[in-house]
């Protein structure tokens, strides 16, 4: 349904592609009205985020949850209380066949990454180092190394880069032998 202005006469056109004939009403027969919509949205801050009242202009970080036309901002820890969603931490581990020198691998990764730090032997059972405080590379045996990390987008990107570096290092080792 729409309003058309034909030769100075306003006509309401109601075409619905049905078998009924179209109905044309003249402007004198049409009541005018206006609808106003408020586009403001309001969200409640609940549980742990609501313990401290934010100042004007202060940023509040949390999850925005829409439930039955209401919005709530909550902390990650409160998500399972107010919704059927749950969160889990995923630890990942991959073991890669690697026959090169562990020190050479550490040196190559130091050239790529800003932070590569050795771990004490008490913390890891054998030689190991940590990349960007997110990923641990351990020497498992003469033919294997393992990578351990907590899954999140940044740690996953770091692990992908380290895995590619390890595989490229293996290609370099085998091409010179």
Question: Which of the two residues, 155 and 42, has the higher pLDDT score?
Answer: 155
Number of H helices, E strands in the chain: 3, 11
- The model's pTM is 0.56
DSSP class of residue 92 equals: E
Lowest-pLDDT range of 19-28, 101-110, 112-121: 19-28
Residues 6+ apart with CB under 8 A from 172: none
- When pLDDT is cut at 50, 70 and 90, the band that residue 169 belongs to is confident
Q: Which stretch of 31-35, 47-51, 126-130, 165-169 has the lowest confidence by average pLDDT?
A: 31-35
Closest CA relative to residue 65, chosen from 40, 93, 43, 33: 43
pLDDT at 36: 75
């Amino acid at each position: 349904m729409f309003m058309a202005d034909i030769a100075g006469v306003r006509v309401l056109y109601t075409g619905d592609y049905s078998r009924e004939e179209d109905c044309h009403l003249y402007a004198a027969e049409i009541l005018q009205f206006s609808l106003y919509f408020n586009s403001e949205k309001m969200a409640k801050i609940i549980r742990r985020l609501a313990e401290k009242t934010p100042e004007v202009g202060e940023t509040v970080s949390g999850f925005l949850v829409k439930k039955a036309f209401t919005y709530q901002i909550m902390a990650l820890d409160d998500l399972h209380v107010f919704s059927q969603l749950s969160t889990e931490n995923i630890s990942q581990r991959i073991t890669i066949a690697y026959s090169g020198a562990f020190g050479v691998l550490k040196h190559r990764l130091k050239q790529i990454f800003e932070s590569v730090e050795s771990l004490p032997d008490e913390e890891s059972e054998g030689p190991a180092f940590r990349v960007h405080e997110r990923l641990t590379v351990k020497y498992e045996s003469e033919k294997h190394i393992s990578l351990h990390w907590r899954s999140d987008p940044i740690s996953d990107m770091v692990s992908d880069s380290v895995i590619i570096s390890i595989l490229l290092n293996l290609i370099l080792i085998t091409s010179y032998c």
